[in-house]
């Protein structure tokens, strides 16, 4: 258990990001193309989407893009780290043992943590955030 607390401390930035207008039903959130169990909150016409960003270095920079689709009742979130070195496909991801599932989840890949709450590491997608679920780095 001790290990888990250390891992969670890395994810210290919770952002409530507001979006445009209208509609009342439940919205499905997609993070980087993967369906997430993130629950949006409403503030009048605005949806609040709780996204977790990892602060792994001194000056991390992220571009977060939100696309709200009131017809499909979904919010697509793209999180991009322009400074992250892209190492694609060379080796198995050692964070997830190459299976692409978020190792913080219980059970792995479900998008929820031991407390049955949305896991901030993968933003509820169940995908390993180190390799974006590809299993390769
Ligand atoms: Zn997770
Ligand atoms: Zn991985």
Cα 89 to middle of ligand 2, angstroms: 11
Cα 24 to middle of ligand 1, angstroms: 27
| Res. 83: pLDDT tops 60 | yes
Could you write out the DSSP letters of every residue in 30-46? EETTEEE-PPPEEETTE
Angle at 48 between CA 46 and CA 52, to 5 degrees: 155
pLDDT-derived band of residue 90, with 50, 70 and 90 as boundaries? confident
Ligand found nearest the CA of 128: 2
pLDDT-derived band of residue 56, with 50, 70 and 90 as boundaries? confident
pLDDT digits (tens, 9 = 90+) for 13-47: 344 445 544 444 689 999 999 999 999 998 988 99
The CA distance from 111 to 115, in Å, is: 11
Cα 67 to middle of ligand 2, angstroms: 26
pLDDT-derived band of residue 88, with 50, 70 and 90 as boundaries? low
Strands (E), 19-136: 28-31, 34-36, 41-43, 46-53, 63-69, 74-80
Ligand found nearest the CA of 99: 2
The partner residues of 101 in beta bridges, in order of sequence, read 127
Cα 42 to middle of ligand 1, angstroms: 24
């Amino acid at each position: 258990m001790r290990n888990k607390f250390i891992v969670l401390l890395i994810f210290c930035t919770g952002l409530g990001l507001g979006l445009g207008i209208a509609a009342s039903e439940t919205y499905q959130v997609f993070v980087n193309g993967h369906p997430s169990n993130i629950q949006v909150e409403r503030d009048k016409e605005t949806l609040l989407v709780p996204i977790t960003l990892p602060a792994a270095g001194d000056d991390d920079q992220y571009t977060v893009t939100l696309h709200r689709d009131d017809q499909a009742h979904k919010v697509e979130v793209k999180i991009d780290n322009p400074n992250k070195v892209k190492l694609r496909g060379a080796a198995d991801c050692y964070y997830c043992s190459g299976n692409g599932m978020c190792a913080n989840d219980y059970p792995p890949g479900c998008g929820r943590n031991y407390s049955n709450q949305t896991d901030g590491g993968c933003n509820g997608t169940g995908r390993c955030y180190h390799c974006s679920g590809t299993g390769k780095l």
